[in-house]
Chain A
């Protein structure tokens, strides 16, 4: 039998606190979402009586289904737009050498340094001028500000790694730049694309400040805003049960996405491109 090393012991000692720290808030939210009325304020960890009433209430008391759809549209739109733009940008920045490339890369990174609050008022003017106020397009546009620098930088890094001969072979075969990017490079960048899309999706899904500022009507809200604005019968009551149920509902798609994509995020797809 393999002798137990002290590193193994340390490992298993470290696992429970890390797991507990990471999972407790979510488990507590799940448990609370099934509690009813005053049971919310009892000290029981699991509810004595399990009830789905909070989940029904979330959808009944506000257009939560519409909010969910809005979030899907915004996050999906942000992912598609950032991928389209950043793939093209990554090709230019990663594989074409031109003067000022480094400065441009730094500028792109610099954009992501400003706190959201700092650009909020300026962006508001822009959104109003474009006539996008209280529209989902305003959110897609403004979310690109923080997803694009990240996706561009990641894809540039991966794009640089691809062998030059592959591109040249495609050129010899008569492929144009767009064919090279989308038919040759995109399939090879799939792991990077999957990872960056996922992170962009999560960022857009959870985005709060822009969504709060640029939407007005409850039909245009995304879920983070909708949850924050859930109110009870009186201003002195916060419907914790509904809030917890809504939080669980918005978290589940993210968990599903991560589980699905992590199977696809496999490296080594480029094996066989060149001898190695």
Chain B
């Protein structure tokens, strides 16, 4: 059963469109992540669901009830804010109990819920402290605790990890994933700009695109399982946004195109791609895309000169100057076998190449072997 249903949501500030044409469902127990570059309206969309902002048009349903006119507290949702927004003059206990007292719950029920949440979040020893005496990670856990005690149908997270340092972020990410499993039926909607968070946490990623003042363009670039967005990006924006370092893009001219494949030429080098290219005219321009980790390095008929190296420990990224395009081709090296100035043979496997037409839309790929069964089922 679906927990949240958004229908034709629009949001404008003045005449400036922020969100357009959003149709989306979040199922019961699903972990849905809103991601996108800054200014895409992902936090605004979360605030619309929370009831802190009103949509300019469209309907929001939570658990089958239209909630457009309902106050935030009546929607059975709980929100964790980016800045935590703890009440600084109240103890940790009172911070968590504050919302429950407004629900007119019995005192011992409030106490039971607060202590249970505090135990599960390792806050039991801190209940009498004020937020000012807590570390960033502890404050974050109090903010999560304040949401848990309400036992809502939907949890909303607004970039909850962005104020934590890197190691704490990974730890808290794991805790949130564990929390989601433990809560079972509650859905979670999570806003982030960090694609590692999105890839690791999400059952469903909603990638939003900034409208930048344009009218008549939908906000959602693609919705799907993380691996679906990774392997089957619907357009160039999605392909470039998902994956780090991002996908290499190479402009090419069509030599021959049909439903079995594409032959094209980039910088005078002939290339083939396994995509359904039926309908592409000869001599038209396409963009090829390949991820750094998918370039086959060490052998091949192409050669590039290493202009820059980034060592990340277990692997490195090399920036190759190639005849294919003016921008360097980023490739992943599994061992630290190269130095700057070396030449490196490589090839671009046809099954790994993504093809985008002149409008930036992806052509259907012929090889699906990268997809996991779960992702295939999701398509």
Contacts of A275 in B (CB 8 A): 83-84, 136, 139, 163
Contacts of B84 in A (CB 8 A): 165, 274-275
Q: Which residue on B lies nearest to A275, using beta carbons?
A: B163
Q: Which residue on B lies nearest to A190, using beta carbons?
A: B89
Query: In the complex, A170→B71 CA distance in Å?
Result: 12
Select one of A166, A171, A179, A272 contacting B133, CB under 8 A. A272
Query: In the complex, A273→B83 CA distance in Å?
Result: 8
Contacts of B103 in A (CB 8 A): 174
Contacts of B72 in A (CB 8 A): 168, 171-172
Check if A172 sits within 8 Å of B136, measured CB to CB.
Answer: no
Check if B73 sits within 8 Å of A165, measured CB to CB.
Answer: no
Select one of A168, A174, A273 contacting B88, CB under 8 A. A273
Query: In the complex, A169→B98 CA distance in Å?
Result: 10
Check if A273 sits within 8 Å of B86, measured CB to CB.
Answer: yes
Interface size on B, residues (CB 8 A): 32
Residue A238 lies at the interface, judged by CB distance under 8 Å to chain B: no
Taken residue by residue from 139 to 180, chain A's Cβ proximity to chain B (1 for < 8 Å, 0 otherwise) reads as: 000000000000000000000000101101111111100010
Check if A188 sits within 8 Å of B102, measured CB to CB.
Answer: no
Select one of A174, A184, A273 contacting B131, CB under 8 A. A273
Taken residue by residue from 121 to 135, chain B's Cβ proximity to chain A (1 for < 8 Å, 0 otherwise) reads as: 000000000111110
Query: In the complex, A165→B81 CA distance in Å?
Result: 7
Chain B CB within 10 Å, residue with most, of A174, A175, A187, A275: A174
Select one of B79, B83, B87, B102 contacting A174, CB under 8 A. B102
Query: In the complex, A187→B99 CA distance in Å?
Result: 18
Check if A172 sits within 8 Å of B83, measured CB to CB.
Answer: no
Given contacts A165-B83, A271-B132, A272-B139, contact A173 B89 (CB under 8 A): no
Residue A27 lies at the interface, judged by CB distance under 8 Å to chain B: no
Select one of B74, B79, B130, B146 contacting A272, CB under 8 A. B130
Residue B324 lies at the interface, judged by CB distance under 8 Å to chain A: no
Residue A51 lies at the interface, judged by CB distance under 8 Å to chain B: no
Check if A163 sits within 8 Å of B85, measured CB to CB.
Answer: yes
Check if B73 sits within 8 Å of A174, measured CB to CB.
Answer: yes
Given contacts A165-B83, A166-B85, A172-B72, contact A272 B131 (CB under 8 A): yes
Taken residue by residue from 18 to 29, chain B's Cβ proximity to chain A (1 for < 8 Å, 0 otherwise) reads as: 000000000000
Residue A80 lies at the interface, judged by CB distance under 8 Å to chain B: no
Would you list which residues of chain B between 74 and 115 have a CB under 8 Å from chain A?
74, 77-79, 81-89, 98-99, 102-103
Chain A CB within 10 Å, residue with most, of B84, B139, B150: B84
Residue B196 lies at the interface, judged by CB distance under 8 Å to chain A: no
Interface magnitude class on chain A: 20 to 34
Contacts of B150 in A (CB 8 A): 173
Query: In the complex, A272→B132 CA distance in Å?
Result: 4
Check if A188 sits within 8 Å of B81, measured CB to CB.
Answer: no
Contacts of B87 in A (CB 8 A): 166, 169-170, 184, 273
Contacts of A166 in B (CB 8 A): 85, 87
Residue B340 lies at the interface, judged by CB distance under 8 Å to chain A: no
Q: Which residue on A lies nearest to B81, using beta carbons?
A: A165
Query: In the complex, A275→B77 CA distance in Å?
Result: 24
Residue B50 lies at the interface, judged by CB distance under 8 Å to chain A: yes
Residue B278 lies at the interface, judged by CB distance under 8 Å to chain A: no
Contacts of A168 in B (CB 8 A): 50, 52, 72, 79, 81, 85
Give B149 Cβ to nearest chain A Cβ, in Å.
Answer: 10
Contacts of B52 in A (CB 8 A): 168, 171-172
Contacts of A274 in B (CB 8 A): 83-85
Q: Which residue on A lies nearest to B140, using beta carbons?
A: A275
Given contacts A169-B79, A173-B98, A174-B103, contact A272 B86 (CB under 8 A): yes
Contacts of B99 in A (CB 8 A): 172-174
Q: Which residue on B lies nearest to A169, using beta carbons?
A: B85
Chain A to chain B contacts (Cβ below 8 Å), 7 pairs: A168-B50, A169-B81, A174-B102, A271-B132, A272-B88, A273-B86, A275-B84
Interface residues of B (CB under 8 A from A): 50, 52, 71-74, 77-79, 81-89, 98-99, 102-103, 130-134, 136, 139, 146, 150, 163
Q: A172-B72, A272-B86 are in contact. List 20 more A-B contacts (CB 8 A).
A: A166-B85, A168-B81, A169-B87, A169-B146, A172-B77, A172-B79, A172-B99, A173-B150, A174-B74, A174-B102, A175-B102, A188-B89, A271-B132, A272-B139, A273-B87, A273-B88, A273-B131, A274-B83, A275-B83, A275-B139
